[in-house]
Amino acid sequence: MKKRVIAGIVAGIVLVSAGTFAAVYQPPHKTDEIYKAAMQDFKDGNYQNAYYLFSKISLFSNLKPIAIYHRGECAKMLGDDKSELRQYQILFNNYPKHKLSIRTRYLAGQKLVKDKPQLAKKYFEYIIHNAPESDYAIASEYYLGLILKNKYRNAKIFPTSVKDDIQNCFRHYLKSAPSGVLALNVVDNWLEIPGDISKDDYLLMANSLYIYGEYEKAEELIKKVDLTESWALDVKNSFAMKNFQRAKYLTENGLEKRSNYVAEDDILQAIDIYIQLSESKTKSVDRLLSVANGKGRDYLLSLRCQNLPQKDKESCYTNLYMKYPNGRFAADALSNIFFLKIKAKDYTSAEKIGMDHLNKYPDSLSAPKVMFWLGKIAERLNNYDEYTNYYKNVIDKYPDTYYAYRAYLRLTHIQTPLLTSYINPKPVLYPYKYTRNNIIVKLVDLQDYDVVNELVGDDDFIKSWVLYKKGDYSHSMLVARDAMEKISDKPDKYDLRWRLVYPVIYYDEIKKYADETGNNPPLMLALTREESYFDPLAQSAAGASGLMQLMPSTATEINNKFKLGMLIPSSLFNPDMNIKLGNYYYEFLRTNLEGYDISSVAAYNGGIGSIKNWKTTLHYNDTDEFVEQIPYSETQNYVKKVFRSYWNYIRIYNGND
Report the catalytic residues.
531
CB 294 within 8 A of CB 260: yes
- Single out the residue of 290, 246, 293, 286 nearest to residue 270, CA to CA: 246
Q: At what angle do helices 47-55 and 64-77 cross, to 10 degrees?
A: 160
CB 142 within 8 A of CB 186: yes
* Spatial separation of the C-alpha atoms in residues 507 and 420, rounded to whole Å: 16
Q: At what angle do helices 264-276 and 281-291 cross, to 10 degrees?
A: 140
DSSP 184-213: HHHHHHHHTSSS---HHHHHHHHHHHHHTT
- Single out the residue of 483, 381, 469, 474 nearest to residue 427, CA to CA: 469
Amino acid letter, residue 320: L
Residue 517 DSSP code: H
- Single out the residue of 557, 616, 545 nearest to residue 589, CA to CA: 557
* Spatial separation of the C-alpha atoms in residues 459 and 486, rounded to whole Å: 12
DSSP 590-611: HHHTTT-HHHHHHHHHH-HHHH
Phi/psi at 430 (5° precision): -55, 130
Residue 519 DSSP code: -
CB 116 within 8 A of CB 97: no
Beta-carbon contacts of residue 189 (< 8 Å; ≥ 6 apart)? 145, 146, 149, 170
CA-atom Rg of the chain in angstroms: 30
- Single out the residue of 346, 404, 403 nearest to residue 377, CA to CA: 346
- Single out the residue of 413, 415, 385, 391 nearest to residue 404, CA to CA: 391
| 550: β partners | 545
CB 88 within 8 A of CB 104: yes
| 545: β partners | 539, 550
User: How many Cβ atoms sit within 10 Å of the Cβ of residue 552?
Assistant: 16
Q: Which long-range contacts (CB under 8 A, 24 or more apart) does 431-440 make?
A: 431/461, 431/462, 431/464, 431/465, 431/495, 431/496, 431/497, 431/499, 431/500, 432/461, 432/462, 432/496, 437/62, 439/62, 439/63
CB 28 within 8 A of CB 61: yes
Amino acid letter, residue 76: K
Amino acid letter, residue 494: Y
User: How many Cβ atoms sit within 10 Å of the Cβ of residue 489?
Assistant: 7
Number of residues written out for the chain: 657
Phi/psi at 372 (5° precision): -60, -45
- Single out the residue of 435, 502, 494, 420 nearest to residue 468, CA to CA: 502
Cα 306 to Cα 317, 327, 346, 634, 640, distances in angstroms:
9, 17, 21, 11, 17
* Sign of the dihedral defined by the CA atoms of residues 330, 335, 341, 343, in that order: negative
| 539: β partners | 545
Beta-carbon contacts of residue 136 (< 8 Å; ≥ 6 apart)? 102, 103, 106, 127
